[in-house]
Amino acid sequence: MQTQHLFQPFDIHLFKSNECPMKVHQHTFFELVYIMEGEGIHNINGNALRYGPGSLYMLSPMMVHHFTVEQLTSFVFVCFNNIYLKGVLSKNDEHNSGNWLQKLEYIFQSKQDQGAIIKNERDKPLTAAIIDAIVAEYAMGQNMQKDVIEQLINTLITIIARNITIKCDAKTGGDTIALQIINYVHLNIYDHEKLKAENIADHFNISTNYISEYFKKQTGENLQQFIINYKLALAETRLRHSNMRLNEIAFELGFTDESHLTKTFKKYRGESPAQFKKNIKTASQTVNSLSA
């Protein structure tokens, strides 16, 4: 199986074909795949999903996928890596632009192997217009093309974040307050004080003794358990895609120290962070040797 790499912050690829542009493969970067026209099957991590015009998929690193083309298909691939994401963070710091990075984190921790991502009907023509603009900018290659495409990609990711929120609505059974609590946790995941049960309860005007029970009733998951699982998912992302030391990850995510993170990680993931990272490295080496 082939593993693709990206050696620049982002790249755009356009294909129109009666067959899959790439056979079964995975890549070490993030990829948005948009179907401008055509029909067929998109297989992601063993899940066979029908695609059609307007379908948009988001693939995280090391997802395995390929297409079975049934009707001539026009593909748009928008690829970006950690260098791009770090650039986004830097610009956010410079312009004080709020919670854009948190949106990215939220997106990348969501399960994106369950089909096309745009569920809001009003967002579908907007998504198509943004994709058309990306394709046009890429084709023309005019002055400041890179800056324009970056802004278009950022807008597209914001729309994706909104649609993932719609998926969260299904998780909460349509309960507006439970969905707001989920969004509150995502937005304040780095603020230990705001994540305390009494502060969450106060924010939503719910009794401190009742809020965890209320959240579990609506989502099937204890509130504290939800917060821990989200923090561990973010820790996994850093172990996979960064060179951060374990004590740095622990400090960022509000664990007491490295030992606290290690014990929590092992309790809920069944292995230590060090073993988790070692297994990732071993799996990557195995894949690379098989694809060589």
What's the confidence (pLDDT) of residue 4? Answer: 79
- 150 and 240 together in one domain: no
Domain shared by 84 and 229, yes or no: no
User: Residue 246 and residue 277: Cα distance in Å, rounded?
Assistant: 11
Phi, psi (degrees; rounded to nearest 5) at 50? -70, 140
pLDDT in tens, 132-146: 999 998 888 767 788
SS (H, E, C) 141-202: CCCCHHHHHHHHHHHHHHHHHHHHHHHHHHHCCCCHHHHHHHHHHHHCCCCCCCCCHHHHHH
Predicted confidence band at 246 (pLDDT cuts at 50, 70, 90)?
A: very high
Q: How confident is the model at residue 1 (pLDDT cuts 50, 70, 90)?
A: low
Read off φ and ψ for residue 196, nearest 5 degrees.
-65, 140
| Residues 162 and 198 grouped into a single domain | no
Inside any domain, residue 291? no
Rg of the chain taking only CA atoms, in angstroms: 20
Contacting residues for 165 by C-beta, under 8 A, at least 6 apart: 179, 183
Number of domains in the chain: 2
Among 153, 170, 187, residue at a domain's last position? 170
Residue 25 maps to which CATH number? 2.60.120.280
Q: Do residues 28 and 143 both lie within one domain?
A: yes
* Residue range 41-59, pLDDT digits in tens: 998 877 788 899 999 998 8
Percent of the chain past pLDDT 70, that is, above it, reads: 80
Does the residue 198 lie in any domain?
Answer: yes
> What range defines the domain where residue 275 resides?
175-284
pLDDT in the model for residue 97? 41
Taking all residues of the chain, what is their mean pLDDT, rounded to a whole number?
81
For the whole model, what pTM was predicted? Answer: 0.59
pLDDT at 260 over 70: yes
Q: Domain end: 170, 185, 208, which one? A: 170
Q: Can you give the pLDDT at residue 228?
A: 94
Q: Are residues 191 and 149 in the same domain?
A: no
Give whichever of 235-239, 246-250, 287-291 has the largest mean pLDDT.
246-250
Q: Is residue 289 part of a domain?
A: no
Does residue 23 lie within any of the structural domains?
Answer: yes
| Band of residue 157 on the pLDDT scale cut at 50, 70, 90 | confident
Residue 88 CA to residue 84 CA, distance in Å, equals 6
Closest CA to 178 of 222, 113, 148, 139: 222
Residue 258 — very low, low, confident or very high, per pLDDT cuts 50/70/90?
A: very high
Residue with the bigger pLDDT between 233 and 14: it is 14
Judge whether residue 165 has pLDDT over 60: yes
Residue 66 pairs in a beta bridge with 43
pLDDT, tens only, 65-108: 899 999 999 999 998 876 776 666 566 554 444 455 555 555 66
With vertex at residue 96, the alpha carbon angle to CA 102 and CA 125, rounded to the nearest 5 degrees, is 60
Separation of alpha carbons 238 and 129, rounded Å:
33
**How much is the average pLDDT of 236-263?**
88
Return the residue matching tokens 């509000």. Answer: 254
pLDDT of 280 higher than 70:
yes
Q: What is the phi/psi pair of residue 246, to 5°?
A: -60, -40
The reply to whether 292 falls in a domain is no
Indicate the pLDDT class of residue 37, thresholds 50, 70 and 90.
very high
Verify that 198 and 246 share a domain, yes or no.
Answer: yes
| Confidence (pLDDT) at 74 | 94
**201 and 274 together in one domain:** yes
- Domain-located, residue 290: no
- What is the pLDDT at residue 95? 44
HSE-up (13 A, CA, CB side) for residue 114: 7
138 and 217 part of one domain = no
Instruction: Kindly state whether residue 243 falls inside one of the protein's structural domains.
Output: yes
Q: Are residues 120 and 242 in the same domain?
A: no
- Same-domain check for residues 21 and 81: yes
Asked whether residue 247 is domain-assigned, the answer is yes
Residue 206 belongs to a domain with what CATH number? Answer: 1.10.10.60
Check whether residue 156 and residue 64 sit in a common domain.
Answer: yes
Whether 99 contacts 189, CB under 8 Å: no
Which has the minimum average pLDDT: 3-7, 255-259, 264-268?
3-7
Statement to judge: residues 30 and 59 lie in one domain: yes
Q: Which of residues 155, 170, 185 is at a domain's end? A: 170
Q: How confident is the model at residue 115 (pLDDT cuts 50, 70, 90)?
A: low
